[in-house]
Each structure stands twice: as structure tokens, then as C-alpha cells.
Amino acid sequence: MLDEKNLQKPLEEREDIIVVKDLNKWYGKLHVLKDVDVNVKQGEVVVILGPSGSGKSTFIRTINALEEFQKGEIIVDEINLSHDVSNIDAIRKETGMVFQQFNLFPHMTILKNITLAPIWVRKWKREKAEKVAMELLERVGIPEQAHKYPGQLSGGQQQRVAIARALAMQPRIMLFDEPTSALDPEMIKEVLDVMKTLAKSGMTMLVVTHEMNFAREVADRIILFDEGEIIEQGTPEELFDNPKHERTKLFLSQIL
Ligand code: ADP
Ligand code: MG
């Protein structure tokens, strides 16, 4: 496990918490990730941009061991995913994931949704799990919703529950795959605000999003994917104000 003291150092002096080397993945004949190399520092916030179908979801799902890969190496908090499938459970404990669709269990209360995995996977007592769940609901700003069911909440509230649920497992890394894409515009901000606070708390985050203001404001680094390859990466200033590659310029011209 990486040292918490690591977080007090400037970003460039910190240890890597994620190391991806020469990652290649195919779906049948379709080569979806091509020689991807990414290192992420502890506490770093990385935003992943790219056109639809460029491999963004596949990339972060592979880091969370939701997808297999055929070539290369992935090391998450010193756990090597490449060699041994028995590491999958360990990796899943390290990483929390938030999806576009909130994927809450509809027949369970908000509190049950959040305490389920800590009780079953972490073997916490119910009292402890509920205490932590309530603290997390405070943190995402909806403690009063604890005893309701997902269907009674707005989309923005449900996504905040999904974030709280992921945090309940005390992950060291949070992965977000277009967390605001399914939300009505007026609810996007409340979810992004929770993510911003989380980023400021020192959480390592990989975020696939089309929210360019969020990317500019919160990202330490932006990575642009196209056709399964990393085309360009850099700070928000480098990428938005001074893009080097034609494909980056083209992508930015289409979304900004
Ligand atoms: P993005 O998230 O950037 O939109 P994805 O990672 O979802 O892209 O997809 C990358 C490519 O892989 C696309 O061509 C997509 O159609 C294909 N793909 C994604 N999931 C599967 C799958 N389960 N089986 C086959 N092809 C897939
Ligand atoms: Mg996707």
C-alpha cells in the first residue's frame, strides 16, 4: 500500500498508484486499446476525453478488472492485474466505480444500497456500516434521503448515492464513466460539485466526461483517446489552449 505521506508531496514527486504499460485489448478482431501507457500519481485527477467509441469506457473498465485484456500490464496500488485473476477481488476493493446509469438496487433503501457491500465484502457490522453510510450521505448532501428508495429520488440525487456507495468501500481510486451524461442539465452541477470536493480531498480519480468546464477546473491532466490510442495528454492549459495534434484540434473544435 502506498504511504499516505505521499499525498503531501508535490504531484510530480509522488509514487504512481496506477501503472499501465503497453496495454492492448481486442474484442474478437476489433483492436480496441492499442499500446496504451498511462501512469497516475496518488491524488491525481485525470480526465479522459475522446470521441464515442474511442475506448474510454473499455480503458477504465479494464483498470477495474471488469474487462480482460490480452497484452501488457496493469498495476493498481502495487497489485498486478496481469498475472493472476485471483487479484480481481483485491483490485475491486481498491477502486470504486460510478457509471452513467446509476445502477442502484431499486428494491433497497438508499441506506441498504450503501451498506450492502461493506457488510458482505468488508464484513463490517451493520451498525458500523450504517454509521459510515450516514456520514457519506452527509458528505454528498442528502442525509434526509437515507430511508427512501432510489425511484423516489431525482437523477442527481441517485448519482450522489452511487458515489456514496462507491466511497463506502473505502477505495483508494475512484473511476467515473460519464457520470453526468444521463442527467437533466439542472442536476449536473450538484454531481460535479461532489466530484470536485472529492478531488480536493486527495482522492485519485479517473473521469471520463464531456464536461469541459469540470475538466479545465479540476483535472491535473487530460488524456485524449481516439480509435483506442492515446493521441495527446497534458495539463488542461496545454491541451485546450495549445493542442499539438490535428486530431486533438478536430475533437476540440467539435465539442467546444
Ligand atoms: P467509448 O467509451 O470511448 O465510447 P468503448 O470503450 O465503449 O468506447 O468502445 C470502444 C470500442 O469497442 C467501440 O468500437 C465499441 O463498439 C467496442 N465495444 C465495446 N464493448 C464491446 C463489447 N462488449 N463487445 C464488442 N465490442 C465492444
Ligand atoms: Mg463510454
Q: What separation in angstroms does the CA of 109 have from each of 59, 130, 141, 165?
A: 32, 12, 17, 12
Strand order in the sheet with 71-76: 30-41, 16-27, 71-76, 79-80
The span from the CA of 167 to the CA of 156, in Å, is: 17
Q: Is the CB of 115 under 6 A from ligand 1?
A: no
Q: How far apart are CA 15 and CA 7, in angstroms?
A: 9
Q: Is the CB of 53 under 6 A from ligand 1?
A: yes
Q: Are 223 and 229 in contact (CB under 8 A)?
A: no
Q: Which atom of ligand 1 is nearest to the CA of 52?
A: 4
Residue owning the nearest CA to atom 1 of ligand 1: 53
23, 58, 61, 97: residue to mutate for ligand 1 pocket, most atoms within 8 A of CB: 58
Instruction: Answer yes or no: are the C-beta atoms of 185 and 211 closer than 8 Å.
Output: no
Q: Which residues face 205 on adjacent strands? A: 45, 174
Q: Given a cut of 80, is residue 6 above it in pLDDT? A: no
Nearest ligand 1 atom to alpha carbon 58: 6
CA of 236 to the centre of ligand 1 (A): 26
Kindly give the distance from the C-alpha atom of residue 208 to the centroid of ligand 2, in angstroms, as a whole number.
8
Cα(first)–Cα(last) distance of the chain, in Å? 40
Lowest mean pLDDT among 7-16, 21-30, 204-213: 7-16
56 C-beta closer than 6 A to ligand 1: yes
CA-closest candidate to residue 2, choices 75, 78, 61: 78
pLDDT band per the 50, 70, 90 thresholds, residue 7:
confident
| Per-residue confidence band for 3, with pLDDT thresholds at 50, 70 and 90 | low
Cell representation of residue 226: 481516439
Q: Which atom of ligand 1 is nearest to the CA of 57?
A: 2
Please work out whether the CB of residue 81 comes within 6 Å of at least one atom of ligand 1. no
Q: Which residue has the cell 470504486?
A: 96
Query: Minimum mean pLDDT among 22-36, 198-212, 242-256: which range?
Result: 242-256
What is the reported pLDDT for 146? 98
Q: In what order do the strands lie in the sheet with 221-226?
A: 95-98, 173-177, 204-208, 45-49, 221-226, 229-234
Confidence at residue 90, expressed as pLDDT on a 0 to 100 scale: 81
Task: Give residue-wise pLDDT tens across range 65-120.
Answer: 899 999 999 999 988 887 666 778 888 888 999 999 999 999 999 999 999 999 99
DSSP secondary structure, 164-178, as one string: HHHHHT--SEEEEES
Nearest CA owner, ligand 1 atom 14: 53
57 Cβ below 6 A of ligand 1: yes
Ligand 1 atom 7: the closest Cα is on which residue?
A: 57
Locate 106 and state its grid cell. 431499486
Do the strands 16-27 and 30-41 form a parallel or antiparallel pair, or are they unpaired? antiparallel
The pLDDT of 181-192, averaged and rounded, is 96
pLDDT > 70? residue 213: yes
Strands 71-76 and 45-49 come out as unpaired
- Radius of gyration from C-alpha coordinates of the chain: 18
Asked if residues 25 and 33 have their Cβ atoms less than 8 Å apart, the reply is yes
Q: Where are the domains of the chain?
A: 15-254
d(CA 225, CA 127): 44
Name which of 242, 235, 229 is nearest 217 in CA terms.
Answer: 235
Chain mean pLDDT for the chain: 94
Q: 15-254 — its CATH code? A: 3.40.50.300
Q: Percentage of the chain with pLDDT > 90? A: 85
Predicted TM-score (pTM) of the model is 0.95
Most ligand 1 atoms within 8 A of CB, residue of 30, 175, 178, 209 to mutate: 30
pLDDT digits (tens, 9 = 90+) for 138-149: 999 999 999 999
Q: What is the pLDDT of residue 207?
A: 98
What is the predicted pLDDT for the residue at 256? 73
Question: How buried is residue 27: exposed, middle or buried, by Cβ count under 10 Å (0-12/13-18/19+)?
Answer: exposed
Rounded-to-integer distance, Cα 20 and Cα 38, Å: 5
